[in-house]
Structure 1
């Protein structure tokens, strides 16, 4: 199967601590790197995770709170120093253009490459990126400012040829591309050989959902249903659950309830409040509802 990895660069909330960096992660699909949020220190964490700056394809910013975007200017500048020539596209709410463009004009006026900002509507579930192998959709979230999560979804690939069967029926090489796409093969004497006799099914489609920051919202469940991995914010534990609706955040228990109801395969908790020196308490509260839960941590690599 092709690479589909999640690299956690930062999983803390607004206040950086010695334990956690602000929110940022890299989704590595095939040979492309996609950054999701870019808090302070994101580029340093990329170095620690040994991720190639040259393979960075696009950046997705969930919302315009500093712990999710203060690392942008430093990263953009570094890419210029490294000699990047390809355009860099940032997907975000429209207001990022007004905030970032003056800084680019001042600090990065001599850069060779262009920074393109493509706005999305945080209140809509829509495809905002698509190539031959994947598509990325927005997940409307409930926060104090317009905010969206992101669903990374593989497209179904070709079926796998069974070499012995292809040889047995003397299938010409030029026909293999059509058979892999699901077409039957007709022999020179008119015999129809079903595709499923010549091939095995394509690899299962993998899906990853990123949901941070948000209040508890069952509206996201149909969008994230059945994903292989759900990253969901867990800013608060049960002892502070009264703070969650006021700040438009979620408890670990609520994140687990979303995961269970949506039938996801695995839950990863993140966006931890600085008030908790030990996040295992949050893990325990979540696992009581959804057992297949893990904690995010800096430089964690999760393979799907």
Structure 2
């Protein structure tokens, strides 16, 4: 089975602590690596958890509050020092390019690899990437500055070849390609029918990442039916006024969103430093949405078929 995994690198809010880092997550989808946000210390976390960050192809930055991108210049520089040559694409607010270019300029650093920027500026839900059978959608959320959530969804898969067909017909590479496209294969004296040699692929998987926002129905449709929803929960239920004032969400509100959008599992993160114990955050949320977990750093959430 091809992997669809999310590893939590950082799950705290603005102020890092000795045991909790700002937001960052590494996605491994069908052996392709995607980084969501890059808070301070993200590259150290990747080393700690044995993640080969040179394999990252795309980086998605939700918004330009420092706890979501202050680790980026360090990561880019380390990639350079380790000899990266493969281009990298960063999906972010257009101002990030100016920030990165300034940081590189004042240190007289010329990267050995190209950075391509895809600017996030649409005020509507927008597909920003179609690559390797994965579609990524950016959906605006409601924060103090422009901010986006991201939805990662597998796209239509080719048909699967039945194991017994592989053995019975001793299929070649080109024959397999044709059958997976639903086309029959003609051989001397026989026809291998795609309908007999193939089976329907497994269900498509979906992951939604929503950070730094007031609850907003506008993104509900985008995240609907997610196998896994990560939703910020900076505060607990008794701090709902504080959450609203700072354009954040409580754990109870996040749980209600997961319930309303029919998500299968909820992961809470972006915890305020005021909370030294995280378990009560989960327990309270589970009174609304039972299948709730915490974004504990180093945890990998696997989405199975």
**Contact residue 31 and residue 55 of structure 1 kept, 8 A:** no
**Contact residue 180 and residue 194 of structure 2 kept, 8 A:** no
Please give the alpha-carbon distance, in whole angstroms, between the structure 1 residues aligned to 2:143 and 2:132: 32
1:50 aligns with 2:50: yes
Give the corresponding residue for 2:213.
Answer: 214
Give the corresponding residue for 1:272.
Answer: 271
Measure how far apart 1:104 and its partner are. 1.6
Give the corresponding residue for 1:250.
Answer: 249
1:1-304 alignment, distance < 5 Å: 1-107=1-107, 109-121=109-121, 123-165=123-165, 173=172, 174-183=174-183, 193=193, 195=195, 197-304=196-303
Measure how far apart 1:253 and its partner are. 0.5
Measure how far apart 1:30 and its partner are. 2.5
**Contact residue 266 and residue 293 of structure 1 kept, 8 A:** yes
Q: Which sections of structure 2, spanning at least 5 residues, go unmatched?
A: none
**Contact residue 37 and residue 59 of structure 2 kept, 8 A:** yes
Task: Report the TM-score, using the length of structure 2 for normalisation.
Answer: 0.92
Measure how far apart 1:87 and its partner are. 1.9
**Contact residue 88 and residue 116 of structure 1 kept, 8 A:** yes
Task: Report the TM-score, using the length of structure 1 for normalisation.
Answer: 0.92
**Contact residue 156 and residue 203 of structure 1 kept, 8 A:** no
Please give the alpha-carbon distance, in whole angstroms, between the structure 1 residues aligned to 2:111 and 2:155: 35
- Aligned in 2, Cα 1:94/1:287: closer, same or farther, shift over 3 Å? same
Q: Name the count of aligned residue pairs.
A: 302
Please give the alpha-carbon distance, in whole angstroms, between the structure 1 residues aligned to 2:122 and 2:233: 21
Counterpart secondary structure, 2:145: coil
**Contact residue 123 and residue 146 of structure 1 kept, 8 A:** no
Q: Over aligned residues, Cα RMSD in angstroms?
A: 2.1
Measure how far apart 1:191 and its partner are. 7.9
Please give the alpha-carbon distance, in whole angstroms, between the structure 1 residues aligned to 2:3 and 2:218: 30
Please give the alpha-carbon distance, in whole angstroms, between the structure 2 residues aligned to 1:140 and 1:235: 18
Please give the alpha-carbon distance, in whole angstroms, between the structure 2 residues aligned to 1:167 and 1:238: 58
